[in-house]
């Protein structure tokens, strides 16, 4: 009994569990996935008439995944102003011949992640509401962004700061699941999470 315990401790207990960025699995998954997706994206661009692709962004650093005609890119999280609540922003496109929808999301930052939309009230204020799905019709792309549809990550188990990474799994109505790593970046001026209200 005691001998077994000693053995387990020497092989497993090398990194503290709470150190998210030190989990070797996630770190190793990143680079090859990004590389593969860049190749696929180049191949797809000829059919995409890429008029929407105007902003030069550090695409290789933000979360990106592609499978079965569904593509998610530019996934990131602004550094949360409220240490317990974060928002995930990304772009997704449907290059399949069927309508699809984002229906679920899980992260390693919290067990509480929701799909949100933002509605404008009669007084002109924006208010967020949880939705069951975010539609992604065939041939279309949509951006999850501040003031629009987005992913809300509640009850963050520990504060996230710039440089951290969040492992995200997106589940679509078609059954496709996309896994990507979203970096935590500095919140830009237009972001303002104070209105969040549960």
Binding site for Cu ion (CB under 5 A): 116, 128, 152
User: Considering the complex, what minimum distance in angstroms separates the CB of residue 43 from Cu ion?
Assistant: 35
Instruction: Give the nearest distance from C-beta 151 to Cu ion in angstroms.
Output: 8
Comparing CB distances to Cu ion, the nearer of 128 and 180 is 128
DSSP class of residue 98? S
Beta carbon nearer to Cu ion, 128 or 182: 128
Q: Report in angstroms how near the CB of residue 116 gets to Cu ion at its nearest.
A: 4
CB nearer to Cu ion: give 96 or 117. Answer: 117
CB of 47 to Cu ion, least distance (A): 34
Q: How far is the CB of 189 from Cu ion (least distance, A)?
A: 19
Write down the least CB distance from residue 166 to Cu ion, Å: 15
Tokens 């303002």 belong to 192
Residue 190, both tokens: 């237009």
SS3 90: strand
Q: Tell whether the torsion through CA atoms of 105, 110, 114 and 117 is positive or negative.
A: negative
Q: Which residues of 145-170 are buried (b: 16+ CB within 10 A; e: fewer)?
A: bbeebbbbbbebeeebeeebbbbbeb
Residue (92 or 152) nearer to Cu ion, CB: 152
Cβ-based neighbour number of residue 98 at 10 Å? 10
Q: How far apart are CA 104 and CA 134, in angstroms?
A: 9
- If the CB atoms of residues 20 and 146 are measured against Cu ion, the closer one turns out to be 146
Q: What is the DSSP letter of 69?
A: T
**Nearest to Cu ion of 34, 184 (CB atom):** 184
3-class DSSP string for 118-144: EEECCCCCEEEEECCCEEECCCCEEEE
């Amino acid at each position: 009994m005691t001998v077994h315990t000693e053995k387990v401790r020497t092989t497993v207990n090398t990194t503290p569990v709470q150190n998210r960025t030190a989990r070797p699995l996630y770190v190793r998954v990143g680079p090859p996935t990004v590389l593969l997706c860049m190749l696929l994206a180049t191949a797809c661009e000829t059919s995409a008439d890429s008029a929407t692709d105007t902003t030069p962004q550090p695409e290789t650093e933000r979360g990106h995944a592609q499978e079965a005609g569904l593509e998610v890119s530019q996934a990131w999280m602004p550094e949360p102003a409220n240490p317990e609540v974060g928002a995930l922003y990304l772009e997704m496109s449907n290059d399949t011949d069927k309508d699809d929808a984002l229906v679920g999301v899980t992260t390693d930052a919290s067990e509480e992640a929701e799909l949100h939309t933002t509605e404008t009230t009669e007084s002109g204020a924006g208010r967020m509401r949880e939705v069951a799905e975010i539609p992604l019709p065939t041939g279309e792309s949509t951006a999850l962004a501040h003031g629009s549809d987005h992913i809300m990550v509640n009850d963050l188990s520990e504060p996230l700061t710039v440089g951290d990474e969040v492992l995200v799994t997106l589940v679509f109505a078609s059954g496709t699941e996309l896994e990507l790593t979203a970096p935590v970046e500095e919140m830009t001026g237009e972001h303002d999470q104070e209105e969040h209200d549960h």
